[in-house]
Structure 1
Amino acid sequence: MDLLISLGFQVNREKSIIEPTQVICHLGYIIDSIQFKVFLPDDKVEKILGKCQQVLSTHDVSIRLLASLIGCFTSSFKAIPLGPLYYRSLEADKLRGLAGSVDEYDGVVALSSDSIAEITWWQENLVMSNGKLIRQPNPDCILTTDSSLEGWGAVLGTREVNGLWSLQEATEHINYLELKAIQLSLHAFCKEWSSVQIMVQSDNTTAVAYINNMGGTVDKLNCLAKDIWLWCHGRDIFVSAKYLPGIENVQADALSRKFSVQTEWSLDPSIFQRTCLQFFLPDIDLFASRLNHKLDRFVSWGPDPMSENVDAFTITWEGLEPYLFPPFCLIPRVLRKVINDQVKRAIIIVPNWNSQHWFPMLLDLLVDTPARLPHWQDLITLPHNGRHHYLFRTLNLTACVISGQPSIIEAYQKRLPMWRSTHGDEELQRLITWRGRTGEFGVVNGKLILITRLRR
């Protein structure tokens, strides 16, 4: 102190703290070096809560009062971690009020429902949210993302993920798609994580800004950034973003442009609903993706932002009653899995290919009358572009209910009529070949299995 005075500085002793301290109130904040956090003082907390109550108590709010409340919110961001997520609707209402008022800040404005929700959040969360780290730890991992007009891709260490945009998503601005790619990548890689620091690298400066600023002025982008932050906060994940020049973003860029669509074929939603009404409602879709899943619970072939699990063959199907629409080359493997895991019942969509080696196995597992699906041009399509299946002219699909439990299969086969033929094995082969046209699907253990049309 004496040194400062001797050097010509004027020291305000009343406002100076002479003794070293680990907790100090400075510039309206409490800085705690023990917890390494910044807090709002109690008087500032009470001031904010009081203004919240004052604004909510009137229908038409003074623009000046609203601006004062927004100022209180923004000045507390250093101490309230999620504060930046809950003020932009209020800011939009303030600007709307100023644009329509001749009295400027002396005018009034009616708050939107979103603004009221933001004020309510501050009322309910201010006290328990008080306290923010002075500096975040170094990131535990780096997630690199990219987007094209076709799809998105991401890299996390040695892991990769990518996906296509839906027809609706593909119409969005590239800034939205870049931010959406960050969201989907986090969901795909980090849904089981908690208490980690993630650095996102993107070659889109807008996406980087919306992550680091917890939103922005464009409503659609702001809502998406808010969803990302709330999802991360619920898992105690802190996310930050860094700009990566496009010339260096090679791997994620390639993933956003190269796709395999053979696992994306999707059954028409109305046909799926009719199938469930005729048989039963499955509890999980075991061969699906973000774009073509028919049930809330689904398993994807590779990493997927919304899937419950990855690779249906790596999990047990015991206790499940699944919907199965696998790639046709996997049908025999699926049937064996149903048997091995003793599945009680499952709906499977198969082509009418009686010459395939798996067809007798399918007949052995049936526990209900198969239903022939209508021969529509758009019965199965690619969800990202609406393209029809390349075999649609000749492809006939059937919905079957199968089981891996012998007692259920035996009970069903006992109810079947006996098959009678006077022409030996040759007649049996002809019967199976013409099953769709005669209403006869096949023969198993001397019993005739009929086929019906899918009910409307």
Structure 2
Amino acid sequence: MRSDLEWWLDNANLLRGSPLQSHPPDLLLFTDVSKEGWGVHLLQHLALGLWSNQECKIISMCWNFKLPSWHSSTSAQFIPGKWNIVPDNLNRTTQIVGSEWSLAPWRANKVLTLAGSTTIDLFATALNRKLQIYCSPVPDLAAAFEDVFQHPWDSLDIYAFPPFCLIRQVLNQVRSAPSLAMMLVALKWPHVEWYPDLLLLLVETPRGLPPLSDILCQPHVRIFHNAVSFLHLYVWRLSSSVSQRSTFHERLQQQCQDTSGSPQRLSIRPSGPSSVVGVVREAVLLSEPLSP
């Protein structure tokens, strides 16, 4: 007791103060448990398992108990499922997560081969990343950064398969960046408002992805998208460079003149099997298929 009271007599202890913010963690360990199984995510390491029948009974009995926080340099914190994507998916082997659809690795490799120098996967998690360097929408110390729209994209060569609702923001970023190249996987949707801007940012002929049953998958389980043929997915090579885009547009116009003697005029057609994807500067833009 005496030693505890003497602590208060030392001015160094009294002036030390207490930090207003906690020290940033050196490691983040994400865990999640369901009545089916468990999942763990630490940096690039993933682990998962399913409960046995006996363990399921125990889990059901303990379901309403809460884990305590440890009074040490380790602390436990509840994270909502939408921010705990990786372990949350790992422990639910039959769950389909809409935000986690991605190109199957063997398909993504073909797309990345087209780009050649792509260095960062801009919309990914530790489960579905296609490159060693990636940006995560959830807390992840292994990611290059989080919250992709809060970081500059300048001088990056990007692979991006964003949620469809974010394509407008993505195109705005490409258009405003001083120097940026992007291999974008997105839909051929001529009726949406951002489609004309997508065509204007092109620097190469778009490639149509084959509507095969194994092209889109969930990263944590072997589940494939069952309506790929209705999506009309394409690979679009974009650039923020005005000179590169102008060179591509001039080449398109020249191709049209070589074919018919005058620039062809054609309205944008609805999504479908046609190789025509639209019109750029009065030049018809055709796509090429990406080999299966």
Structure 1-normalised TM-score? 0.45
1:351 aligns with 2:178: no
Aligned pairs for 1:86-235 within 5 A: 146-148=31-33, 149-152=37-40, 169-171=47-49, 203=67
Counterparts of 2:186 and 2:171, CA distance in 1 = 11
Aligned to 2:205: 369
Summarize deviations over 1:212-244 as a string: whole Å, max 9, x none.
xxxxxxxxxxxxxxxxxxxxxxxxxxx8668xx
Aligned pairs for 1:332-351 within 5 A: 332-351=168-187
Aligned to 2:102: 266
1:428 aligns with 2:266: yes
Counterparts of 2:24 and 2:240, CA distance in 1 = 43
Summarize deviations over 1:329-383 as a string: whole Å, max 9, x none.
1111100100111343210001121111111111101100111101112211111
Q: Secondary structure of the residue that 1:287 maps to in structure 2?
A: coil
Opposite residue 221 of structure 2, the aligned amino acid is: N
Q: Secondary structure of the residue that 2:256 maps to in structure 1?
A: coil
Determine if contact 1:278/1:454 at 8 Å carries over to the other structure. no
Mark the CA change 1:447 to 1:257 in structure 2 (over 3 Å): closer, same or farther: closer
Summarize deviations over 1:42-84 as a string: whole Å, max 9, x none.
xxxxxxxxxxxxxxxxxxxxxxxxxxxxxxxxxxxxxxxxxxx
Q: Secondary structure of the residue that 1:442 maps to in structure 2?
A: strand
Opposite residue 256 of structure 2, the aligned amino acid is: M
Summarize deviations over 1:255-302 as a string: whole Å, max 9, x none.
665999333221111211112223323111110010000001110112
Return the structure number with greater helix share. Answer: 1
Aligned to 2:154: 318
Aligned to 2:3: none
Counterparts of 1:408 and 1:377, CA distance in 2 = 35
Mark the CA change 1:446 to 1:291 in structure 2 (over 3 Å): closer, same or farther: same
Q: Give 1:151 deviation, angstroms.
A: 3.6
Choose which of 418, 436, 445 in structure 1 pairs with 2:256. 418
Q: Give 1:140 deviation, angstroms.
A: 5.8
Counterparts of 2:228 and 2:143, CA distance in 1 = 28
Determine if contact 1:146/1:203 at 8 Å carries over to the other structure. no
Summarize deviations over 1:141-199 as a string: whole Å, max 9, x none.
8989643225459xxxxxxxx99x96xx323789xxxxxxxxxxxxxxxxxxxxxxxxx
Q: Give 1:449 deviation, angstroms.
A: 1.4
1:395 aligns with 2:237: no
Mark the CA change 1:317 to 1:141 in structure 2 (over 3 Å): closer, same or farther: closer
Counterparts of 2:80 and 2:240, CA distance in 1 = 44
Opposite residue 32 of structure 2, the aligned amino acid is: S
Q: Secondary structure of the residue that 2:135 maps to in structure 1?
A: strand
Q: Give 1:203 deviation, angstroms.
A: 5.0
Mark the CA change 1:368 to 1:307 in structure 2 (over 3 Å): closer, same or farther: same
Mark the CA change 1:362 to 1:441 in structure 2 (over 3 Å): closer, same or farther: same
User: Which 5+ residue runs of structure 1 have no aligned equivalent?
Assistant: 1-138, 154-161, 175-201, 209-238, 243-248
Counterparts of 2:198 and 2:23, CA distance in 1 = 49
1:251 aligns with 2:42: no
* Larger Rg computed on CA atoms: 1
Structure 2-normalised TM-score? 0.68
Determine if contact 2:256/2:283 at 8 Å carries over to the other structure. yes
Aligned to 1:132: none
Q: Secondary structure of the residue that 1:418 maps to in structure 2?
A: helix
Counterparts of 1:353 and 1:141, CA distance in 2 = 43
Q: Secondary structure of the residue that 1:409 maps to in structure 2?
A: helix
Counterparts of 2:114 and 2:269, CA distance in 1 = 24
Aligned to 1:185: none
Determine if contact 2:266/2:284 at 8 Å carries over to the other structure. no
Aligned to 2:62: none
Opposite residue 171 of structure 1, the aligned amino acid is: G
- RCO greater where, 1 or 2, for CA within 8 Å and sep 6 or more? 2
Aligned to 1:452: 288
Mark the CA change 1:338 to 1:173 in structure 2 (over 3 Å): closer, same or farther: same
Determine if contact 1:442/1:450 at 8 Å carries over to the other structure. yes
Opposite residue 418 of structure 1, the aligned amino acid is: C
Aligned to 1:279: 115
Counterparts of 1:145 and 1:380, CA distance in 2 = 26
Q: Give 1:308 deviation, angstroms.
A: 0.6
User: Which 5+ residue runs of structure 2 have no aligned equivalent?
Assistant: 1-21, 53-65, 90-94
Mark the CA change 1:365 to 1:144 in structure 2 (over 3 Å): closer, same or farther: closer
Q: Secondary structure of the residue that 2:78 maps to in structure 1?
A: helix
Aligned to 2:7: none
Opposite residue 266 of structure 2, the aligned amino acid is: L
Opposite residue 251 of structure 1, the aligned amino acid is: F
Identity of matched residues, %: 28
